[in-house]
Chain A
Amino acid sequence: MTNLAIAADGLRKSYGDKVVLDGVDLAVPEGTVFALLGPNGAGKTTTVQILSTLVPADGGTVSVAGHDLARDPDGVRGAIGVTGQYSAVDKLLTGEENLRLMADLHHLPRREGRHRAAALLDRFDLADAARKPAGTYSGGMRRRLDLAMTLVGDPRVIFLDEPTTGLDPRSRRAMWRIVRELVADGVTIFLTTQYLEEADGLADRIALLDHGRLIAEGTADELKRLIPGGHVRLTFADAGLLDAAHRIVGAGAPDPDTLTLRVPGDGVRAIRDLLVALDAHAIDVAALTVHTPDLDDVFLTLTAPQKESVR
């Protein structure tokens, strides 16, 4: 039995005559990570704003954690936590005060609020900075505090709007580890990102949003299967060798500027045959890289035609 943490049907939103969401359907089972992936301006943030009760939808029905968004927004608010794209911390208050503020707003008893704030400061590696104003925190620290504040109320559904945008690699990894821990506790996570690697690594299901419509949805593997396989990239010492290799292989796209030849296919057998053929003609390959399809390919393949249709 799978209960849906988030179910949206025909979600629509326009600002003036600009259509931001044009009939989006979402189904996120409890205890899973769902990634909404899309370029800037695709409508990711608007989707999160609607699902988290910040902005009303123009059309469509939504239920979050079993509460109807339009009829019972407070029910939804009681079940969710939101960490937005712009850090939602009070910069004049200290890290500890920010967490205690959340505890008070969740009506936790004083002792428990203090206890929970301390535990979260420890868990998010903020204990040393607990008594400094949040305005003095680094980007990574502020984002961790932001997420810690979201967790004070023990939400069952968490929205993370581009949680790692602008973070350095180490902070990004720390954020990913935290997300994985949360999922292990049974929390449902709705994540938006423009990093394919992030969706690939974290999400159970991924939806691609482009121009307000979902253009593909599935697991990372399912999405990767949507596009042709990978390719092998061969680099040669000079243009003569590149030309010769291109004639022998009889396929692929040569690039004279980088002296590389892109040959479709990424299987072991295909690569061996390729190398044997080149070897038979005594053509030296300076370098070889194998490129398996990733979500970048999926994304570029699926979004490209749509972009060209826009004048």
Chain B
Amino acid sequence: MTATTLTALSEQLERGELSSVEATRDYLGRIEAHNAALNAIITVTAEQALADAAAADARRAAGEAGPLTGIPLLHKDIFCTNGVRTSCGSRMLDNFLPPYDATVVARLKAAGAVMLGKTNLDEFAMGSSNETSYYGPARNPWDLRRVPGGSSGGSAAAVAAGFAPAATGTDTGGSIRQPAAFCGITGLKPTYGRVSRLGMVAFASSLDQGGPMAATAEDCAMLLQVMAGFDPADSTSAEYEVDDYSGGLAADLSGLKIGLPGEYFGEGLDAGIETALRAALAEYKALGAELVEISLPRTHLAVPAYYVIAPAEASTNLSRFDGVRYGYRCDAPEDLLDLYTRTREEGFGDEVKRRILVGTYALSAGYYDAYYRKAQQIRRLIQQDFLDAFDSVDVIMGPITPHPAWVLGEKTDDPVAMYLEDIYTLGVNLAGLPGMSIPAGFADGLPVGLQLIGPHFSEARLLNIAHRFQLATDWHTRRPTL
């Protein structure tokens, strides 16, 4: 029987109880059986995966194995994979076969991981529900009528459903943490610049960050160890030493100061979620932590600032999709303008087009100061709120979302309502901080995530704080029945 965590699987492989080929077959079998219902994976690379698994087994036999050698995993379909379709959940890139690997993909490959396929996502990562995907929405394995969250919904659903022990995700405004919360798994959004963005198709360059999604903090630590690090090909990559993420997991939490922002526990937070979170916080108290009331006074401004900055950056990041060098091109363009406007009309979905238009508007002459510049100023104020808070606490905790996973279609007609669901996660991206979601109970039978936010480059500490909780609780071991 294949283990349910990355850490346990790594030990099984190490002990020779299981081969990588066997584990890979096992996961591929589960994908085969259940992906039709979940739609979590867009592209399955079964043949290549089995070949890579066999090669990994051979390396292990030759005594050249590392902790990730032969570990099957999934990549969000926004990380470029050499020769394997990278669609970004868009018709625009439905035929796109990148001639290169993203740095994250290359690092995991070099560490011996075996790619099983590419997971579903909101189109170009723009969405909080996975419903904007050209390939149709992924579904929440806890309740197939509900969304798995987004944009890394496919990765979260796949890990929760046992399609793989881990997956990569990206988080621009909560896209790792929110689906991790909705699907009951652990997800880490690292400090901006900690993980290379090269080959990760850009949504909003100053906010995007790749990170691991897995069952436990321990698993995330193993993945992040490989994913993190300076990349000279990404100018925004941090030249900052990578910590030993696994080494400090067990450290004691006594004296830990946990800040609880009043703004995160106020009006609008679902009662069931609050109950679960209060219980989780009580657990931390039992582990020796101290709970401190704090304030992040500009929390309410995160949504407006984010929904200017992210669309503005996206509007120009997506200009390269013009039907000239790769990707979708409209049929029989009459002239150059027709090539552009029809390719982009037909290639992009509604939400992406809306955001491009909002972003174009925010940057256009006469509006730049009132929108883009203003949002960047507010961004600094929001970052300052966090930095001030970290003067007195070690970590900030709160909800990931105001409500648990909603029913498919419930919010699609009201983009603003959907945007407001991101209120607790956006600040972390605006400030460039690391954030995590860890399973912390259930509300109405649906998973609840607890958010952990730390100072810049405090990933090791966050993972330690998450791991100690997971040693004391078993929420992270709960799995949906498929």
Q: Do A and B come from one complex?
A: no
